[in-house]
Structure 1
């Protein structure tokens, strides 16, 4: 069972070259951060909102300038927690295609080395370099596309939660 999965992955990684390991690590960290955000939204955020609403509702007056500042502080703190790691996620999404491009360059250098060494255009001799040029590009783009999808879902959720939070902290008695 394990060998059936391991061998194709191993061959794919070998054909893609060393840069593919870096892309794999980058995408792994990207998805760890995406899952961390999802876990935060599912398990921690609601409790933090409930505590903020309870703190706000326990105030006897909510119309003064000081009350407005306290409300703004509650909203700002929760917004910071909502958006934590989002800039890192966006950065990793931007780096994935660049790492793929690095793989393209290193693969093409290998192709040119083979051509310089053999002095001809043998397709069999250049195949390894060409796969090392194309596979990392594909992997970087696929990683970036999946990251963009996850990031857009997270951004949409964050935007809705910000609006919902402001609606929960009302000024009325």
Structure 2
């Protein structure tokens, strides 16, 4: 029982530390957190689509392709193949545009946090002069946290997007190979 209670205390302490971290970064940190949740939801949806849904779609097209090869003219087959590959490209790559936009927004929001934090520093300087290092340090802290968070999110987002794009391109290439004219 004491192990469970100890785990509960550690989780509670971690939760409070995360809340303190988010509050120290200001409103921009909450916006970054919201965009982060949205981005990773989209990324996991794309991963699920590429690995689970698209192969079923591709299998249906492959069966239709095999049936079509037996009964239709070659020029018609090329048109159908091109249309299916265009559909596949749009299904796989199209939704990644929103994720790319979110990744581009991370550093910009971090920069907004920098500006708002520096405004807080200047407010402290205007009110108290330069004799309040604690107040200035809080503003600098507020300025650096969103910048760091925006950069970390952008870097992790770029790596995951590169992986998703590579997987999508490979799926399109596999489909193109399967739909070739024998």
Query: Which structure's residues are more often helix, by fraction?
Result: 2
Q: Which moved more, 1:135-144 or 1:120-129?
A: 120-129
Aligned length: 172
Question: Where in structure 1 are there 5+ consecutive unaligned residues?
Answer: none
Q: How far is the alpha carbon of 1:113 from its aligned partner? A: 0.3
The answer to whether the aligner puts 1:30 opposite 2:57 as a matched pair is no
With normalisation by structure 2, the TM-score equals: 0.90
Q: How far is the alpha carbon of 1:66 from its aligned partner? A: 1.6
Provide the rounded CA distance (Å) in 2 between the counterparts of 1:63 and 1:121: 85
Provide the rounded CA distance (Å) in 1 between the counterparts of 2:131 and 2:41: 43
Q: Which runs of 4+ in 1 moved over 3 A?
A: none
Q: Render the CA deviation track for 1:100-150: whole Å, top value 9, x for unaligned.
A: 000000000000000000012422111221111000000000000000000
> What is the alpha-carbon root mean square deviation over aligned residues?
1.2
Q: How far is the alpha carbon of 1:57 from its aligned partner? A: 0.6
Q: Which moved more, 1:101-110 or 1:27-36?
A: 27-36
Provide the rounded CA distance (Å) in 1 between the counterparts of 2:113 and 2:180: 54
Q: How far is the alpha carbon of 1:159 from its aligned partner? A: 1.6
> What is the correspondence of 1:158-173 to structure 2 with a 5 Å cutoff?
158-172=168-182
With normalisation by structure 1, the TM-score equals: 0.95
Question: Where in structure 2 are there 5+ consecutive unaligned residues?
Answer: 1-7
Query: 1:128–1:103: structure 2 CA closer, same or farther, 3 Å change rule?
Result: same
